Every structure is written in C-alpha cells, then in structure tokens.
Homo-oligomer: A and B are copies of this chain.
Amino acid sequence: MKEMSVIQKMIDELKRLKSDGMYLNDFFHTWKKSDDELAATFAVAEILRKMRENNISPKLFDSGLGISIFRDNSTRTRFSFASACNMLGLTVQDLDEASSQIAHGETVRETANMVSFMADVIGIRDDMYIGKGHTYMKEVADAVQEGFDDGVLEQRPTLINLQCDIDHPTQSMADMLHVIDHFGGVENLKGKKVAMSWAYSPSYGKPLSVPQGIIGLFTRFGMDVVLAHPEGYNVMSEVEDVARENVKRTGGSYKQVYSMEEAFIDADIVYPKSWAPYAVMEERTQMVSDGRFDELGSLEQRCLLNNAKFKDWECTEELMAKTKGGNALYMHCLPADITGVSCKAGEVAASVFDRYREPLYKEASYKPYIIAAMIMLAKFKDPAAKLSELLKASRKRVN
C-alpha cells in the first residue's frame, strides 16, 4: 500500500509538467524537447520502473506493432526497444534493411507506409553515415504523416530515434536518469563536472552520436561539461553550438580541450569512449554514396593507423585518481573496449571497468523504461491520467 502512494505521488508530480507537445510527435533530438518534456520523460520512466517492481502491468495496447529498423548491429538497443514494446503490449516486427545502402525517396516513402498499417511506433537506428541517418528518419516521419493524412494508415506511428548520426537520445536520456539517481536528484547536478572524453579503441568507425548526445543533453542541467579529444576527432559543430546555447540558459559551462587528463581533473563524472574522426565519417559516407565500396578498406586502415597514435587515451587508474575524490562516476554506453580483456589496448583499464560494473549495468537498465516513456508520451494525451488508471487497476504482470 505504501508503494502505491509513492507511485501516486510520482504521478502527481508528473501532472505539473507540460508535455502535451510530445503527444503525436516524434523523438529525434533531446534539444528539440523542452525542459518539461525531458522531465516528463524521466518521470514516466521512473513510474513505469516502480510499477514493474510492484508487479503492476503497464500494458496499454491490446494489440499493435512496434517496427524496428536497424541499419547497424545492436544487441543492447534492440533488446531495450523490444522490452519497452513488450511492456506496453506492442509486438516487435523487424524490418531488415541492408546496412550498405542509403535508401531515400520513393523507396523510403513506400516502405514506411507498407510496414505501418498496424504500427503504433517505429524505432530506427541509422548512425553509420554522416548527414544521412537523421535525414532518413525525417523522410520516414514525413511519409507516415502523409500516409495517415491520406487515410492509408489507420494510425500515425510515432518515430523514436534509436541512434542517428546526430543524437542518441535513448542512450543520453538513460545515462542522465542514471546520473540523477546516482546524485540523488536533478537539483544536485548544478556545478558537477562532466568529462566526455575520446578514448583509444582498436576498432573503427564508431558513431559520433554518443558524445554529441551527451554534450547536447548534459549541458542542460547546469553542469560543467568538458569534451576532450585528440585533434581531428571533433564532433559536429552544430551540436557544440547546442551545448554552448544550453549553458547560457542554465549557468553551467562547456569547453572543448585536447587532453584527457585536463578533462578528468576534479571531474564528478567521466565518460571515456572511442569515436571516429569526423572527416573520416564524412569520407566514408561519400564513398558509400558514390558506390566506391572497394575504397572502404583502405580508409579503415588509414583511420586505424591514425587512432593508434593516441593509445595513451585510456581511462587508467592513474587518471581516475585525478577525478573528484578519486571516485568520479565512470560511465559507458557498452560494450567497452577493455584493455587486456576484450582487446590488447582499449578505452579503459580492466581494474577500473571491474570496479564500476554494477553502476554500468544499472546505467543500461534505464533504457527500456526511457523508450517506453517516449512511446507513452507520444501516444497518450494525458499520460498522468493513464498512469493513474493503471495504478488503480493494478493488473498483475505476473499472475
């Protein structure tokens, strides 16, 4: 009973947030959403988690499909999306797309409609090609809107960006919810220092959307965000602009540096992670657009050689010792390249990773709830009322 009133209190808090702009809308970038909308997403995610812990089913759909389109391999995001859909009563249907093709125009428009006759939500991961991923998602969104307006589709499926070339909102929002819970509330984040740092990895072509997502979101909470990377590993300048705009409003700060150590000193949070150089990503996109697939191999070689110059960009115990109290919160979107475990030299020392395994897994555990919250806020006009109904009914998830 006590748990019930805790949940009801959380729902009451949710009521104060203005989130109706999310209704029947897509989720592309966190910076396109208002503060209240992000807060509502966190709130719904926490309520859904609490309900599940109390065996209350949040199944709002009697039937319906959640379409997943993955243009890049993904176990974590795939299972998170499947979990979120399952929780709400949607069945996942995968659309397999060749990752070597950049679809557009007629094909996108047609396929988007053909898979959406019963679709309530479409989740897309398309992060491999700079300038293409988000564009593709917009094309899908426009196509299903037109299909709905024309009476072709009975409902207009909501789009959820499961990682594009620009942002990775389900990751950054799950990360932030983890941070909020770790520091005991959003009100405790002001003035905290965040080191979003490049780190060495023997692999190639990791998307830029994780660092971009982090600087685009974390700068909204009055934190001091530092982006560190070697020369040439810069992120999209328009996302750095977003970060700079954010701090003006919230009293935090944003700066970019060329030293991992500088970023780590006195940091409360460190997020060391590899990504590809921006120029390489652009070159690769052009090659694929031109159909010059035979040149991809040599590009990869050049990139790996360049990466190897920065093998000392590793999150070691020495570096961790320089963080606030020597125990900053270590974060990663997983899987990490762990030195001596998954590779010879990687992003993080084994002992550091090992020490933070539990919080790392917890960080990941928020993602299904974040996705479910995004779906709920897009599909239900009054989510607080809906959640109250669910709480009142308290249908058991496991009978």
> A residues engaging B (CB < 8 A)?
49, 52-53, 57, 59-65, 75-76, 79-80, 82-83, 86-87, 89, 91-93, 95, 105-107, 109-111, 113-115, 117-118, 120, 147, 150-154, 334-335, 338, 341-342, 357-358, 361-362, 364-365, 367-368, 379, 386, 389, 395-399
Contact = CB atoms under 8 A, between A and B. Distances in A.
Given A86-B118, A118-B87, A151 B111 contact: no
A350 to B, nearest CB: 9
B364 A114 contact: yes
A63 B64 CA distance: 14
Given A106-B338, A106-B342, A107-B342, A86 B114 contact: no
A62 B398 contact: yes
B64 A150 contact: no
Contacts of A364: 113-114, 117, 152
B75 A111 contact: yes
A386 B399 contact: yes
B368 A79 contact: no
Contact of A87 (B63, B93, B95): B63
Contact of A86 (B49, B65, B113): B65
Given A57-B63, A59-B63, A52 B154 contact: yes
B397 A63 contact: yes
A177 to B, nearest CB: 14
B342 A79 contact: no
Number of copies: 3
A57 B62 contact: yes
Contacts of A335: 107, 110
Given A63-B86, A79-B117, A117-B79, A362 B397 contact: no
Interface centre among A52, A59, A361 (most CB of B within 10 A): A361
B93 A79 contact: yes
A297 to B, nearest CB: 22
Contacts of A62: 57, 59, 395-399
A174 to B, nearest CB: 11
A359 to B, nearest CB: 9
25 contacts: A57-B63, A61-B398, A62-B399, A63-B86, A65-B83, A75-B114, A79-B95, A79-B115, A79-B117, A82-B91, A83-B118, A86-B91, A87-B118, A91-B92, A106-B338, A106-B341, A106-B342, A117-B364, A117-B367, A120-B398, A150-B358, A150-B361, A152-B358, A152-B364, A389-B399
Contacts of A92: 91, 93
A152 B386 contact: no
B399 A60 contact: yes
A110 B333 CA distance: 12
A205 to B, nearest CB: 20
Q: Report the 10 A-B pairs with minimum CB-CB distance, sorted nearest first.
A: A83-B118, A152-B361, A57-B62, A60-B399, A150-B358, A79-B115, A62-B397, A82-B93, A76-B114, A113-B361
A3 B358 CA distance: 51
B368 A60 contact: no
B117 A83 contact: yes
Contacts of A110: 334-335, 361
